[in-house]
Structure 1
Amino acid sequence: MLRWIARQPHWAFACLSILAMSFYWLVWAEDRYVSEAVVVLESPQIAAPTFDFSSLLSGASVDSDMLLLREYLLSVDMLKKADERLDLRSHYSENGDFPARLWDAEAPIEDLHEYYLSRVEVTLDDYAGVLKLEVQGFSPEFAQQLTSLLLAEGEAHMNAMGQRLAQDQVRFLELQVERLSDRLDQTRTDLLDYQNEHGLVSPTSTVDSLNQVVASLEGELARLEARRSALASFSSQRSSDMVRVESEITALRRQIDQERERLAKATGDSLNRLSSEYQRLELRARFAQETYASALGALEGTRIEAARKLKQISILQSPLLPEYATRPERLYNLTIFVIVTLFLAFIASMLWLIVQDHRD
C-alpha cells in the first residue's frame, strides 16, 4: 500500500480528497432550507391627463424598475435592515457546519455582505418580466421570514424613491401656482383700476367705434363734394342749393376734425394713448391668465403622475415555508468534485508517465 502511494501519489491524494469530501457532503454538511418567491412590480393604471407635461417628469420602464429593485434587495442597506430586524449575524454564525457558517459574528459589514450574497439570490426573468427570490436559511421559518422582509422593504423603498421626485415637483408647482395666482390678481386689479379711472370699459372698442364714425363722415363728405361739383356745373355759387351743400360740407369737415382730435391729439389723455395703455394692461392680464392655467394643468398632471409612480409588488408565488432542505446539493456537488478530481488525477498520471519515460 505504501509502495503504491509512493509510486502514485496523485491517485492517493485524489482518493483521500474524494473520501474527505464524501464525508463532508454526505455526513457533516448541515441542511439549508430555501424559501422562494416570485413577484412582479406593477403601477396603478391611472388615465393620463389630456395636456402634455412630459417635459416635467420622466418615468422609468418596468424592466429598469425591476433591476433597481433587484439591486436594492442585494444592497448593503437592505442587509443592514434585515440584520436589524432578524439578527442575521446570530442566525448564520450560530447555525450550520463550520465551512458554511458565518465564521465571525462581529465580522465587518463587507464580509457580512459577501456572505449575504451567498445566501440570497435574486434573478430577473427578462422574458416573463418577473423577479425570483431564493433565500437560504438554516431553519425553514427564518428563510421564510427573511424572504417576506425583503419583499416588504423592497416595495417600500421603490415607492419612496419614486415619490421623492414627484413630491418635490408638486411642491415646486404649488409655489409657482400661488405666485402666478397673485400675479393674475394684480394684473386684473390694474386693468379694472385703469377702466374706472378713465370711465371706459374698453378704450380699444371706443377707438374702433370712432374710426367707424370718421369713416362714415368721410364717406358722407365725399358724397356732398361730388354733389357740389355737380351743382357747380349749372348753378351759381350763391344759389340756395350750393349754399346748403357748402354748409353741410363745412360742418362735416369740422366734425371729422373733432373726432380725429379725440383719437389723436398732441397732449392730454387722447384715446389712442388710452387704447395703447389699455392694450398693454390687457395683454399682461391675458398672459398671466394663460400662464396660471398652464401651471394649474401641470400641477394636476404632476399629482396624477405621483400616484402613478406608486409601485406595488404583486406576488405570483408567496414566500415558501420549505418542508425539506434543498441545499447543499450533496450528490450533485460530490459527483462534480469526483469527476474533476479524477480528471486532474488522470492528467497528473499522464504527466508522471511522461516524466518517467524521459528518465528511462
Structure 2
Amino acid sequence: MASKDQIKSVLKKQPQWVLACVAILLVAFYWALWAEDRYVSRATVVLESPQLAQPEISFSSILTGTSSDTDLLLLREYLLSVDMLKQIQEQLDFRFHYSEHGDVFARLRDADAPIESLHEYYQKRVSVEMDEYSGVLNIEVQAYTPEFAHQMVQLLLDAGERHMNDMGQRLAEEQMRFLETQLDRLNERLKEARTDLLEFQNREGLVSPTQTVESINQVVAMLEGNLAQLQAQRKAISSYQSNRSADMQRVQSEIDAMREQIQKQRDRLAQATGESLNRVSSEYKTLELQAQFAQETYSSALSALENTRLEAARKLKQVSVLQSPLMPEYPTKPDRLYNTTVFALVTIFLAFILSMLVLIIRDHRD
C-alpha cells in the first residue's frame, strides 16, 4: 500500500515527469517497432556546358549562362517543383506508392489529396541540396521499395537535364529570331550607306576626295621645295649680277610663276569651283566610316546568328553524374535511435523547465 501511496504522491506532485516518461516510451515504441523501413537512393551530379569555338562577338554567354552555381540552383528548384511532381505521378504513380506503403504516421494519408498537399509530402521524401564548396548537386529520395527509389532518382536526372536543355534552346531560338530581325535591318542600313557613298562620289566626280587632297598637298609641297631652290639661286646670282641682268630676270620670272602655281593649288585645295574640298573630303570620310561601320556590324550580327543556330541545335547543358543512382540494398530510414534520442532529450528538457516553473509558483504561494 505504501508503494501505491508513493506513486499517487508522485503523480500528484510531479505529473510532468510521468507524462514525459510515457511520451518517451510511446515514441520509442513507434520508432523501434512500428515505423516502416524506407530505402534511400542517392545521386551526385554536376551541370556542365560543352563549349564550341566561339566568334569574337557572340551571344553564347546569354545562352549558356554565366554561373554554374546559378544553373545548379535553377535545376534544384525545378526538381523540387510541382511540374516535376506531376511528371513523377504520370510515370511512376507517386500517389499510389506512398499511400499504399508506410505506417499510419508516415504514409500519404489521402490518395486523392490536392496537389498542394501532395507537393508538401513530396518535399519530405525528396531532398535536393547543392554543395557550394564543390559545386555539385546531391539528390536523395526516400521510398518504401528500393526499385521505386532508384527509378525516381533516375527520372529526376533525366527530366532535369531535359528541362535545362529545353530552357536553353528556347532562349537560343528567341535570340535567333531577334538576330534575324536585326540582320534584316542591318542589311538595309548597309545598302543605304553604300548607296549614299556612291551617289556622293558620282555627284562630286571624285572617287576618293581624301586621296585628291593628299595628292594636292604633295604637289604643293613639291612646288614649295622648287620655290625654295629658286630663291636660293636668285640670292646667289644677286651677289655678282644686277637685278636687271638676264639671269636675274629669268630666275625672278620662274619664282613668280612658281608662287602663282602654289597659290592656284592652295585655292584648289581650299575652294574648288566654289566648293570647299576640305568640306567635301570631310563629308566623304563620314560617309565612308558609316558604310564601314554598317559592314562590320552586319558581319558581327551574321556571325552571331550562325553561332546561335549552332547553340540552338546542340545540347546546351549536360548533367554529368559523379555518383550514379544507388540501388539500395537495405533500409537506412528512419533514423530510429537518433529520432528517439532527440525526442527523449527534448522531452526531458521541457519537463525540467516545467518542474522549475512549478517550484517557482509554489514558492510564491508560500
- Band of TM-score, shorter chain: 0.7 to 0.9
2:150 is matched with 144
Output one character per residue of 1:3-28: Cα deviation in whole Å (capped at 9) or x when no partner.
66644444665565455445533443
**Aligned AA (2:152):** L
- More deviation, 154-163/116-125: 154-163
Task: Name the CA shift for 1:35/1:348 in 2 (closer, same or farther; >3 Å).
Answer: same
2:241 is matched with 234
Unaligned runs of 5+ residues in structure 1 are none
**How far 1:203 sits from its partner (Å)?**
2.2
Q: Distance in 2 between matches of 1:220 and 1:180?
A: 51
Unaligned runs of 5+ residues in structure 2 are none
Determine if contact 1:44/1:308 at 8 Å carries over to the other structure.
no
**How far 1:37 sits from its partner (Å)?**
1.6
Output one character per residue of 1:57-91: Cα deviation in whole Å (capped at 9) or x when no partner.
89443334333332332233322332333332232
TM-score, normalised via structure 2 length: 0.75
Task: Name the CA shift for 1:41/1:221 in 2 (closer, same or farther; >3 Å).
Answer: closer
2:206 is matched with 200
Determine if contact 1:35/1:143 at 8 Å carries over to the other structure.
yes
Aligned residue for 2:182, secondary structure, equals helix
Determine if contact 2:55/2:304 at 8 Å carries over to the other structure.
no
Task: Name the CA shift for 1:235/1:129 in 2 (closer, same or farther; >3 Å).
Answer: closer
- Which of residues 316, 328, 334 is equivalent to 2:334? 328
Determine if contact 1:232/1:242 at 8 Å carries over to the other structure.
no
TM-score, normalised via structure 1 length: 0.76
Determine if contact 1:41/1:314 at 8 Å carries over to the other structure.
yes
User: Is 2:108 aligned against 1:102?
Assistant: yes
Q: Distance in 2 between matches of 1:39 and 1:244?
A: 97
Determine if contact 2:49/2:64 at 8 Å carries over to the other structure.
no
Output one character per residue of 1:273-330: Cα deviation in whole Å (capped at 9) or x when no partner.
5433322322322333444455556667777888999322221222222233222334
Task: Name the CA shift for 1:165/1:6 in 2 (closer, same or farther; >3 Å).
Answer: same
2:42 is matched with 36
Q: Distance in 2 between matches of 1:247 and 1:217?
A: 15
2:128 is matched with 122
2:289 is matched with 283
**How far 1:33 sits from its partner (Å)?**
2.0
User: Is 2:160 aligned against 1:154?
Assistant: yes
Determine if contact 2:60/2:311 at 8 Å carries over to the other structure.
no
Amino-acid identity (%): 64
The Cα RMSD (Å) is 4.4
1:315 is matched with 321
**Aligned AA (1:109):** I
- More deviation, 298-307/10-19: 298-307
Determine if contact 2:57/2:303 at 8 Å carries over to the other structure.
yes
The alignment of Structure 1 onto Structure 2 pairs a total of residues equal to 359
Determine if contact 1:37/1:318 at 8 Å carries over to the other structure.
yes
- Which of residues 91, 95, 106 is equivalent to 1:85? 91
Determine if contact 2:64/2:168 at 8 Å carries over to the other structure.
no
**How far 1:140 sits from its partner (Å)?**
2.2
- More deviation, 193-202/318-327: 193-202
Determine if contact 1:43/1:308 at 8 Å carries over to the other structure.
no
Aligned residue for 2:281, secondary structure, equals helix
**How far 1:135 sits from its partner (Å)?**
0.9
Aligned residue for 2:106, secondary structure, equals coil
